[in-house]
Amino acid sequence: MEAWMEQVRDAVNTLDKLKEYINVTPDEEKAITTLHTKWGTTPYFASLMDPDDPNCPIRKQVIPSMKETENRYGIPDYLIWKENRDGDEKRPDAIARQYYDRIAFTVTDVCANYCRHCFRKELVVDRDLKLRMDVDEGLQWIAEHEEIRDVLVTGGDPFILSDDKIEYVIRKLREIPHLEMIRFGTRTPIVLPHRITDGLKKILSPFHRIPIWVNTQCNHPKELTDLTAKAVYDLLTCGVNVGNQAVLLKGINDDVETFRELHQKLLRVRIRPYYVFYCEPAPGIDHFRTPVEKGAELIRDAIRGHTTGLAQPMYVIATNIGKVPLMPDYYIEGVTEKEYLLVNYKGEKTTIPNIPE
Ligand X SMILES: *Cc1c(COP(=O)(O)O)cnc(C)c1O
C-beta closer to ligand X: residue 103 or 298: 103
104 in contact with ligand X (CB under 6 A)? yes
Helix (H) or strand (E) holding 235, with range, is helix 226-237
As a whole number of angstroms, the distance between CA 200 and CA 23 comes to 36
96 in contact with ligand X (CB under 6 A)? yes
157 in contact with ligand SF4 (CB under 6 A)? yes
Q: Which residue is nearest to ligand X (CB)?
A: 104
115 in contact with ligand SF4 (CB under 6 A)? yes
**327, 337 contact by CB (below 8 A):** no
The one among 59, 120, 195, 304 contacting ligand SF4 by CB under 6 A = 120
Which partner in ligand X, ligand SF4, none is near 124 (CB below 5 to 8 A by kind)? Answer: ligand SF4
C-beta closer to ligand SF4: residue 124 or 182: 124
CA nearest neighbour of 204 among 244, 175, 176, 163: 163
274 in contact with ligand SF4 (CB under 6 A)? no
Provide the 10 A C-beta neighbour count for residue 139: 22
Alpha carbon distances (Å) from 75 to 82, 175, 242, 280 = 9, 39, 31, 9
C-beta closer to ligand SF4: residue 187 or 194: 187
Which partner in ligand X, ligand SF4, none is near 61 (CB below 5 to 8 A by kind)? Answer: none
Terminal alpha carbon distance of the chain: 65
Q: Apex CA 186: angle with CA 256 and CA 100, to 5°?
A: 95
> What is the C-alpha R_g of the chain?
21
270 in contact with ligand X (CB under 6 A)? no
The one among 31, 124, 170, 279 contacting ligand SF4 by CB under 6 A = 124
Provide the 10 A C-beta neighbour count for residue 337: 6
Per-residue interface string for the shown chain with ligand SF4, residues 83-112, x marking contact by CB under 6 A = ----------------------------x-
39 in contact with ligand SF4 (CB under 6 A)? no
107 in contact with ligand X (CB under 6 A)? no
128 CB contacts (<8 Å, ≥6 apart)? Answer: 122
C-beta closer to ligand X: residue 227 or 318: 318
C-beta closer to ligand SF4: residue 103 or 179: 103
**218, 246 contact by CB (below 8 A):** yes
- Cα torsion 214, 216, 221, 222 to 10°: value is -120
Strand 322-325 with 181-185, pairing: unpaired
Which partner in ligand X, ligand SF4, none is near 323 (CB below 5 to 8 A by kind)? Answer: ligand X
Least distance from ligand SF4 to the Cβ atom of residue 35, Å: 15
Alpha carbon distances (Å) from 143 to 90, 139, 178, 197, 225 = 15, 6, 8, 30, 39
Least distance from ligand SF4 to the Cβ atom of residue 286, Å: 17
Of 17-25, 153-161, 175-183, 266-274: span binding ligand SF4 (CB under 6 A) = 153-161
Least distance from ligand X to the Cβ atom of residue 322, Å: 7
Residues in the site for ligand SF4, rule: CB under 6 A? 111, 113-115, 118, 120, 124, 155-157, 187
